[in-house]
Amino acid sequence: MDFGYDARTQELREQLTAFMDEFVYPAEAVFEQQLSEQDDPWSPPPVLEDLKKEARKRGLWNFFLPGEHGAGLTNLQYAPLAEITGRSPHLAPAALNCAAPDTGNMEVLAMFGNEQQRKQWLEPLLDGEIRSAFAMTEPDVASSDARNIATRIERDGSDYVINGSKWFISGAMNPRCQIFIVMGKTDPSGEPHRQQSMILVPRDTPGMDIKRGMHVFGYTDGDHGGHAEIEFTDVRVPAENLIGEEGGGFAVAQARLGPGRIHHCMRLIGMAERAIELMCKRTVSRTAFGKPIAQQGVVQDWIAESRVRVEQLRLLVLKTAWLMDTVGNQGAHTEIQAIKIATPLSVEWIIDKAIQAHGAGGVSQDTPLAGLWAHARTLRLADGPDEVHKRSMARRELAKHLS
Ligand SMILES: Cc1cc2nc3c(=O)[nH]c(=O)nc-3n(C[C@H](O)[C@H](O)[C@H](O)COP(=O)(O)OP(=O)(O)OC[C@H]3O[C@@H](n4cnc5c(N)ncnc54)[C@H](O)[C@@H]3O)c2cc1C
């Protein structure tokens, strides 16, 4: 077993670290400033487009996508790079065209889209010209159980007609978000896992009303293009907009979520590393009760415990990436669920300790910690709540012991 990074990964890590130092970290303050000054709080400020140009010029682009359409990296090669981008999650993933939900949507189009759909939507997404959204969750039903999704997608001649409500649709508040992958029922009386389909809906299709942006712990999440509530009323799109086959929506959703979950976990590890770094720097430089705060046993316990947790998480994430490369996403199912349960919870704990070690400054706008914490906390809900993953893992574990 070799725990080292291969030569290509090492080379890209160095290039990416240089890009982060030279461009991304200095842009963080500019980003906050621009966001506070612009009229639209829901969209990324212009500094992001500058970063995208620079990243692309340096070949730091589309690392997330294995195969012919992406940069040709394996998941194992991408993991340490995604970790580095996680150190500045508001800017770096999007600067490299590796941000959710576009990554998952590009994967869907690459895997299930037909030639026309790939040309019309995948190509501009790969070029970073447009953004996209994935619309599954609904305000009126418990959406952690995808069988509940109630939006109707009904065939009418050569079109499909969509009616329903969605919310927390990431990216949708950003006018650059031009295409929506919408999940809904084409056959409500069919077998439970064959009722749903996925369909492409271009922005501004008549009947599509982007009602409001949802706040997340008070943040607009403008870096992600916000999270929108959307009403679909008799939204009509051509039948060719269906992705894959009718009734195949559940399978597409499953295929989409595997890589998305591991990407979140990779970035969370970078967020944890940044939090540990900030915690150490702050506590060695501030004195209370006659000695640096870093000399307090309880603080050393937080620091040591944080390091232990990050090392454990990274190993499991790398093993999962390696399994995805070698036995496929389905073969890595258990590990994908394990990291999705373990990583947000543990990283949330680490960031919480870094906040505590900073005192009041930790919850302020003067460090990235409050934003990192809010982001980590949401990842215990987004892409499936912890409890749902645990339920499924426990059932598979128990099945081994049922005769
Ligand atoms: C920041 C953010 C971004 C998001 N982005 C998107 C997006 O782009 N597109 C999209 O479609 N959705 C998005 N979501 C929505 C997210 O995927 C859902 O919130 C999630 O799937 C849970 O669905 P729900 O909110 O309807 O919760 P519900 O299904 O109502 O569940 C509520 C709670 O019930 C508990 N629960 C449910 N089932 C079980 C069980 N079997 N055992 C024990 N407890 C259980 C869990 O604690 C769960 O949190 C986003 C959410 C957030 C917070």
Instruction: Flag whether 20 is in a domain.
Output: yes
Is 205 in the same domain as 327?
no
Q: What is the pLDDT of residues 52-72, one digit of tens each?
A: 999 999 999 999 988 777 788
Would you say the CB of residue 327 lies under 6 angstroms from ligand 1? no
Is 167 in the same domain as 111?
no
Of 202, 227, 246, which one is at a domain's C-terminal end?
A: 246
pLDDT in the model for residue 118? 97
pLDDT in the model for residue 162? 98
Residue nearest atom 2 of ligand 1, based on CA coordinates: 382
Instruction: Flag whether 2 is in a domain.
Output: no
Is 116 in the same domain as 237?
no
What is the phi/psi pair of residue 136, to 5°? -120, -50
Domain containing residue 392: CATH number: 1.20.140.10
Would you say the CB of residue 132 lies under 6 angstroms from ligand 1? no
Is 80 in the same domain as 174?
no
Q: How far is the CA of 141 from the centre of ligand 1 (A)?
A: 10
Counting as low any pLDDT under 70, the low residues of the chain are none
Would you say the CB of residue 103 lies under 6 angstroms from ligand 1? no
What is the atom index within ligand 1 of the atom nearest the CA of 390?
42
Domain containing residue 192: CATH number: 2.40.110.10
Is 241 in the same domain as 138?
yes
Domain of 368 in residue numbering reads as 250-399
What is the atom index within ligand 1 of the atom nearest the CA of 133?
8
Is 116 in the same domain as 154?
no
pLDDT in the model for residue 160? 98
What is the atom index within ligand 1 of the atom nearest the CA of 384?
21
Would you say the CB of residue 253 lies under 6 angstroms from ligand 1? no
Measured at the alpha carbon of residue 48, what is the angle toward residues 47 and 52, in degrees to the nearest 5? 120
Instruction: Flag whether 1 is in a domain.
Output: no
Q: What is the mean pLDDT of the chain?
A: 95
Domain containing residue 107: CATH number: 1.10.540.10
Of 126, 150, 167, which one is at a domain's C-terminal end?
A: 126
Residue nearest atom 43 of ligand 1, based on CA coordinates: 387
Would you say the CB of residue 104 lies under 6 angstroms from ligand 1? no
Domain total for the chain? Answer: 3
pLDDT in the model for residue 31? 93
Q: Which residue has the tokens 């559940």?
A: 250
* Cβ partners under 8 Å of residue 101, min gap 6: 132, 133, 134, 170, 171, 260
Is 305 in the same domain as 372?
yes
Element at 347 (helix H, strand E): helix 333-358
Q: How far is the CA of 377 from the centre of ligand 1 (A)?
A: 12
Would you say the CB of residue 169 lies under 6 angstroms from ligand 1? yes
H-state helical runs in 38-162: 47-57, 75-86, 92-95, 102-112, 115-117, 123-126
Residue nearest atom 45 of ligand 1, based on CA coordinates: 387
Cα distances from 283 to residues 115, 234, 346, in angstroms, run 56, 58, 21
Would you say the CB of residue 165 lies under 6 angstroms from ligand 1? no
pLDDT in the model for residue 323? 96
Measured at the alpha carbon of residue 146, what is the angle toward residues 335 and 122, in degrees to the nearest 5? 75
Separation between Cα atoms, residue 322 and residue 332, nearest integer Å: 9
Would you say the CB of residue 150 lies under 6 angstroms from ligand 1? no
* Model-wide pTM > 0.75: yes
Instruction: Flag whether 393 is in a domain.
Output: yes
Is 389 in the same domain as 291?
yes
Would you say the CB of residue 142 lies under 6 angstroms from ligand 1? yes
